[in-house]
Each structure stands twice: as structure tokens, then as C-alpha cells.
Amino acid sequence: MKKVILSGSTATGDLTIGNYIGAIGNWKNLQTEYDCFYMVADLHALTVKQDPKVLRERRLSFFAQYIALGLDPEKNTLFMQSDVHQHAELSWVLTCLTPMGFLNRMTQFKDKSAQHAKNINAGLYTYPILMAADILLYRADLVPVGEDQKQHLELCRDIVGFFDHNYGEGILKLPEPYIGKQGARIMSLQDPTRKMSKSDENPKSFVSILDPLKKIQKKIKGAVTDSGSEIIFNPEVNPGISNLITIYSSFSGKAISQIEKEYAGKMYGHLKVDLADLVCATLDPVQKKYNELMNDQSALVQFMSAGALAASERAQKTLNDVYCAVGIR
Ligand code: TRP
């Protein structure tokens, strides 16, 4: 029996090369060895104000990008979170088990409520419980998550503890974080001390998967670099050029030390020009595949309903067990 993996990306902003290098690219590497469930977290998107029209398009677009970036719908269960009603149902049961004190500790809630001061809704607060439901429904063994989501995974593990204590062990599975081989963290092109974010207000700070190639060229060449001039990887001292080296390494598969060697004595501009070409060459076929999927959506719709069916089947089993355990079946 293969181990189960679950992960997802919230359907907000544009998927960026940071999401590819830090998440979706890793998911792709796991797709043969594990039983993988990858979802578009569209319910999570509602925690911040959304234009319904934009969200409707974006959820579809994310799903198509997953496939275009190499997630094979035959090898993985790819689905839309809201297509599987069990997520919301399990989330409620878990909400009734989670002490508010545990949610008060979440650093992301503190950050996000500062950021969205006019819309601090209860969903923003309980969001990590929905995330726990996502994971627990599939009895996931491993959850690939970035640094910023580790605290949520910890909460998920605490929730399993509360559940076990109240209703007995073995009904929910305790998940572990999955730490990828290279935990590359891609930083903003405008402020390399901050993580590249798909929801950043300044579009120059990220390269999105669907950016026109000309724009990608511009963004990379316009990336903020440091006052030094040597192409040496040292995020503490040269965060800007180090970030570009990381991206170069991820897209080319070359070791950082090899890149440093190849660019010894060259200027920042040389690396920027080559990196821009490399990123464009990588994303060009992805964009072509994406356009194919979006122009004739019949295949996309088919993949989506097959994924929803497979995911619901698995999820319903867990939900039945949980409903029985808590006494509403
Ligand atoms: N909260 C995650 C993010 O913002 C997305 C997410 C939702 C997720 N549910 C999940 C990630 C379950 C891993 C597992 O990036």
C-alpha cells in the first residue's frame, strides 16, 4: 500500500514560480511513489473578500495550471475542494473540538487580520480547522507544506489528539509534515527578504506561471539586486542575487556551486539575462498546454468530475467513521 499524500493551494492571486518551485514541482516528484490527493482550495479562498466572477475563473484556471505544470490526472487524484462536501462537514465536527486558545496562537491569523483589518471574519480565524479536515479526510500520512503552514499542521496533529482523547484512537490518522529534498524558498523580486507571494500587491515582485513571456523577461531583469557585484550565493549578505541563483538552480537542475563557478567574474546582468531566458523556455510549453486545456474545457471538466468522485469516495469513509464515533450515526 502506497502512503497517502494530501496538499493544496488556496485559490487566491496568481500561481507563481515560487509556488511551482516550493510546492507543485515537488508534488509532481511524488506522484508515482505515493497515493497523492492534490486539491484547489477554493473554500479557503473565501476567507478574504473575493469577486465571485474572478474566483469562478480562477478555480478553473488553477486546476488547469496544476495539469499544465505536470500533475498527471491519471496518476493523482486532482480535485476541487468544494466539489467534496465532506470537507465542510468534517470541519464542523473538528471546530467543536478545537479550543479557541489554540486558534489564538496562529501567527498567520495575526498577520492576516492585520492585513485585512476591515474583514476579520470568523472563517479567517477557523481556517486552520478546515485545513485539518482536508488532511484528515484522506487519512494522509504526509503533507508537503511550506514553512508558513507548519503551525497549521501542528494544530491538525493537536486536533487528532483531542479527537482520540474523546472518541478513541485509530479513527483519525496522525499526519506528518513532508520535508522535500530541497526546501527552496523563493523570495520576492522586489524585496528579497520577503517570500514571493501570489497575493502580493506589487506584480513586479513575482513571476506568475501565466505571465506573458515579455513580461517575465522584464520582471527578472528588473529584480532588485544587492550593492555587491559578485555572483555568490549568500542569502544573509546578498539576498537578491542569491534568490536569482536559487531560481536558476531550480529551473536548470544545476547545483548552486556550479552556477557560482560558471558565473565567476561575470556581472549580475549576465545571470539575469540567462535566467530570464531559462524561465521563459520552461514556462512556454506550460502556457501552451494551459491554453489547450482552457480553450476546449471538455477534458478539464472530465478530469475534475473524475477527481471529485474519487476524492468523495475516500472522504465519505472517514466521515462515516467520524459521525459514528461522535454519535450522530
Ligand atoms: N493553507 C494552505 C495555503 O494557504 C493551502 C491548504 C489548504 C493546504 N488546505 C490544505 C495545504 C491542506 C496542505 C494541506 O497554502
The pTM of the whole model exceeds 0.85:
yes
Q: Which residues pair with 273 in a beta bridge?
A: none
- Is the pLDDT reported for residue 229 higher than 60? yes
Q: What is the mean pLDDT of residues 216-242?
A: 94
Residue 167 CA, ligand 1 centroid: distance in Å: 26
C-beta 133 within 6 A of ligand 1: no
Say whether 4 sits in a helix, a strand or coil.
Answer: strand
Residues 45, 184: Cα–Cα separation, whole Å: 25
Asked whether residue 188 is assigned to any structural domain, the reply reads no
Predicted confidence (pLDDT) per residue in 62-101, tens digit:
999 999 999 999 999 999 999 999 999 999 999 999 999 9
Asked whether residue 319 is assigned to any structural domain, the reply reads yes
Predicted confidence (pLDDT) per residue in 254-295, tens digit:
999 999 999 999 999 999 999 999 999 999 999 999 999 999
Residue 145 CA, ligand 1 centroid: distance in Å: 7
What does the pLDDT read at residue 183? Answer: 58
Residues 155 and 86 in one domain: yes
Asked whether residue 36 is assigned to any structural domain, the reply reads yes
Residue with the smallest CA separation from ligand 1 atom 14 is 7
What CATH number has the domain bearing residue 281? 1.10.240.10
pLDDT confidence of 199, banded at 50, 70, 90? confident
**Within its chain, how far is the Cα of 150 from the centroid?**
13
C-beta 149 within 6 A of ligand 1: yes
Catalytic residues: 112, 195, 198
Return the C-alpha cell found at 251: 529551473
254 close to 263: Cβ distance less than 8 angstroms: no
Provide φ and ψ at 78, rounded to 5°: -105, 125
Q: What is the mean pLDDT of residues 102-114?
A: 91
Residues 142 and 279 in one domain: no
Residue 144 CA, ligand 1 centroid: distance in Å: 9
Q: What is the mean pLDDT of residues 138-159?
A: 94
Q: Cell 500500500 sits at which residue?
A: 1
Say whether 80 sits in a helix, a strand or coil.
Answer: strand
Give the count of domains, the chain: 2
Residues 234 and 308 in one domain: no
Residues 275 and 139 in one domain: no
Predicted confidence (pLDDT) per residue in 303-322, tens digit:
999 999 999 999 999 999 99
Q: Cell 486539491 sits at which residue?
A: 39
Residues 6+ apart with CB under 8 A from 263: 231, 270, 271
pLDDT confidence of 182, banded at 50, 70, 90? low
Give the number of the atom of ligand 1 that is nearest the alpha carbon of residue 146.
15
Amino acid found at 278 = L
Which domain range does residue 253 map to? Answer: 203-292
Residues 294, 290: Cα–Cα separation, whole Å: 6
**Within its chain, how far is the Cα of 286 from the centroid?**
18
Residues 277, 38: Cα–Cα separation, whole Å: 30
